[in-house]
Amino acid sequence: MSELGAFKPYFLGPKSENEAWVRGQMQSVLDDWFDWRKGLFADDPTVITCDDQAAPGFALKHSMIGARLAELVEQLRGEVPTYSPRYVGHMMSELALPALLGHFAALLHNPNNTSKEASKVGTVIETEAVAMLAEMIGFNPKMARGHFTSGGTVANLEAVWRARFRMDHRLALALTLAEDHGAPLDVFAAAHMSSTQLRSLVAEHGVDDAAMRARSAVLGNPFEVAERITRLSGRPYRGPVLLAPGHKHYSWVKAANVFGLGEEAFWTVPVDAEGRLSLAGLAARIDEARVLGRPVLMVVSVAGTTEMGELDPVDAVADHLAMLREQQQLDIWHHVDAAYGGYFCALDPHEPLLAPARRRALHAVRRADTVTIDPHKLGYAPYACGALLIRDAECDAVSCFAAPYVERAELGAAPWTTTLEGSRPATGAAATWLTGKTIGFGPKGLGAVLRSTIESCRAIRSALAEAIPLVRPLDPTDTNILCFSVAKAGEALSSANARTAAVQARIAQSPNFSMSRTILSTAAFPDLIGAHVRSYNGRRDTNRLVLVRCVVMNPFWADPGVRARLIPELILELRGIIAEQAKSKARSAVRVS
């Protein structure tokens, strides 16, 4: 087995090649589950007797369930075959076997990780799995906290929740000092004071909890608190802003909505010529917020953008924020949305497939306060499995509310008080745990699989571009997502867009391959779109760029046999679609004239 084939024991295979072994493992998990019941409380009475089972209606009911189940299973055969390398549409692919088996085992026991009482083992597995992910991204696993969520959207919301509570604490203290001690109120400075500064001010002025609670916008009335801030600071208080790059995921708009910020408070950070967060743009946005006296709730950088898989300069963002912290006592929350790209931290730190700047970006994920990562994307785990990783306890404070029936001292910190979601499964944690214990989250484990997907993405990119002159790959391709347009040299962007959209629509209907579509706007990506159109001497006559998007996360593309068979087929398919498209365009041109 070559290095390229290292993934082979870990996936079922497009032809169920590892069926016999998987069958055995599933069976032994089931056997254990049956035996567990039989062995525990061995003297308890049997409830469902042989007589019951022999009764006339009994078997009938079972065969009815069996028939309906068969119907369901039959329907599911119509489901999108995301396991196949032919599927390069969205961020879905074959599942890793340890993830599937871990999920399956936990599913049967069905613990509720809302509390340690409801989940004696599941919560321990979760803590261990969080430590594994934390270690992979470079957090100190002994200090780091975190938990599993239903996905990246919720993990992002969780980060905002924490940042908001921390800011509320600081503003409540500053308001207390202004109202009770006549201190001047500088909202921007106060909102970003360090924890050390907060503690020493509390101690110095003997501020008690009740005084701060009375000024909390989280606990009290936020409009009334804002009025008092306006009065004491001498300028209208307009609330905090959230800074995220122009390529951000839609979950950030949702976060603004959910936390009642108003979408106006969601400030877009410009991107650079290659489509990654612009540091100069970020610095300017922070200055702008300072001038307006609006605190920065958090700065978001993205490791693995949803559209293109790009890696923002997380290191430069961290450097800038460190500079503000050291030179201006401004401690601004840094969240890395690594929902997609977090697992690239498993690559070798010297991985030559990545440009040095991209390696530095990944290495700096560890400098964030909070990180979102989605095991149900590049962790090859079943849905729904996201995670929030938190650097240390200091960053993990959330507003508390009383619910005495769960809040009992012997339980310790009940997880439910610090998670947005209430009842939570242990399946995602178990899937991640088993993947980490077996494939491993290092360069030889999952890193090798992900490395091969980057390599596959490049192979597909160059094969298509070489064989089909109209295929114009978008630069850069940082990781394993390929975007391209279908454009003729010299033509207007609007007609290239129409062709690209038509080609993608045809692929979407084709049974052979699946690719998705994305549309970039010049408002968010002015220079990137310009550069792309220039690459074929095109003319920019519209504000959008339509792209075919291929998420090459399927591990089977690493196999030479798969490439030898599917790449030529893909080329034929695309050529055919493009030719057909040109014909139908010519036909409609004749009709029009």
Ligand X SMILES: *Cc1c(COP(=O)(O)O)cnc(C)c1O
Q: Which residues bind ligand X (CB under 6 A)?
A: 151-153, 156, 249, 251, 302, 306, 337, 339-340, 374, 386
Shortest Cβ 50–ligand X spacing (Å): 47
Shortest Cβ 295–ligand X spacing (Å): 23
| Nearest residue to 134 (alpha-carbon basis) of 417, 334, 391 | 391
| Nearest residue to 112 (alpha-carbon basis) of 127, 103, 123, 104 | 123
- Considering the complex, state which of residue 248 and residue 391 has its C-beta at the smaller distance from ligand X: 248
Shortest Cβ 343–ligand X spacing (Å): 12
Asked whether 133 and 376 are in contact (CB, 8 A), the reply is: no
Shortest Cβ 370–ligand X spacing (Å): 13
Shortest Cβ 384–ligand X spacing (Å): 7
- Considering the complex, state which of residue 337 and residue 559 has its C-beta at the smaller distance from ligand X: 337
Shortest Cβ 361–ligand X spacing (Å): 14
Shortest Cβ 386–ligand X spacing (Å): 5
Shortest Cβ 130–ligand X spacing (Å): 17
| Nearest residue to 349 (alpha-carbon basis) of 339, 358, 359, 340 | 359
- Considering the complex, state which of residue 152 and residue 436 has its C-beta at the smaller distance from ligand X: 152
- Scan for tokens 């994305």, then name that residue: 518
- Considering the complex, state which of residue 374 and residue 559 has its C-beta at the smaller distance from ligand X: 374
- Considering the complex, state which of residue 358 and residue 499 has its C-beta at the smaller distance from ligand X: 358
What is the distance between the alpha carbons of residues 87 and 93, in angstroms, rounded to a whole number? 7
What is the distance between the alpha carbons of residues 442 and 456, in angstroms, rounded to a whole number? 20
Shortest Cβ 565–ligand X spacing (Å): 30
| Nearest residue to 572 (alpha-carbon basis) of 492, 463, 434 | 463
Burial 488-526 (b: 16+ CB within 10 A, else e): beebbbebbbbbbbbbbebbeeeeebbbbbbebebebbb
- Considering the complex, state which of residue 305 and residue 418 has its C-beta at the smaller distance from ligand X: 305
Q: Are strands 516-521 and 544-551 parallel, antiparallel or unpaired?
A: antiparallel
- Considering the complex, state which of residue 161 and residue 237 has its C-beta at the smaller distance from ligand X: 161
DSSP string covering 200-220: HHHHHHT--HHHHHTT-TTTS
- Considering the complex, state which of residue 244 and residue 548 has its C-beta at the smaller distance from ligand X: 244
- Considering the complex, state which of residue 6 and residue 378 has its C-beta at the smaller distance from ligand X: 378
Q: Are strands 334-338 and 296-302 parallel, antiparallel or unpaired?
A: parallel
Extract the runs of DSSP E, i.e. beta strands, from 363-419.
370-373, 386-390
What is the distance between the alpha carbons of residues 152 and 337, in angstroms, rounded to a whole number? 8
Q: Phi and psi at residue 386, in whole multiples of 5°?
A: -120, 175
Extract the runs of DSSP E, i.e. beta strands, from 176-314.
241-245, 266-269, 296-302
- Considering the complex, state which of residue 33 and residue 383 has its C-beta at the smaller distance from ligand X: 383
Asked whether 414 and 147 are in contact (CB, 8 A), the reply is: no
Q: Residue with CB nearest ligand X?
A: 152
Shortest Cβ 245–ligand X spacing (Å): 10
Which residues 6+ apart lie within 8 Å of 306 measured at CB? 91, 247, 249, 339, 340
- Considering the complex, state which of residue 94 and residue 158 has its C-beta at the smaller distance from ligand X: 158
- Considering the complex, state which of residue 221 and residue 423 has its C-beta at the smaller distance from ligand X: 423
- Scan for tokens 């979408």, then name that residue: 263
Shortest Cβ 90–ligand X spacing (Å): 9
- Taking 3-state DSSP, the helix, strand and coil percentages for the chain, each rounded to the nearest 5, stand at 55, 10, 35
- Considering the complex, state which of residue 432 and residue 581 has its C-beta at the smaller distance from ligand X: 432
| Nearest residue to 333 (alpha-carbon basis) of 193, 447, 504 | 193
Asked whether 164 and 213 are in contact (CB, 8 A), the reply is: no
Which residues 6+ apart lie within 8 Å of 235 measured at CB? 293
Which residues 6+ apart lie within 8 Å of 46 measured at CB? none
Shortest Cβ 272–ligand X spacing (Å): 18
Shortest Cβ 303–ligand X spacing (Å): 8
Residue 411 parent element (H or E): none
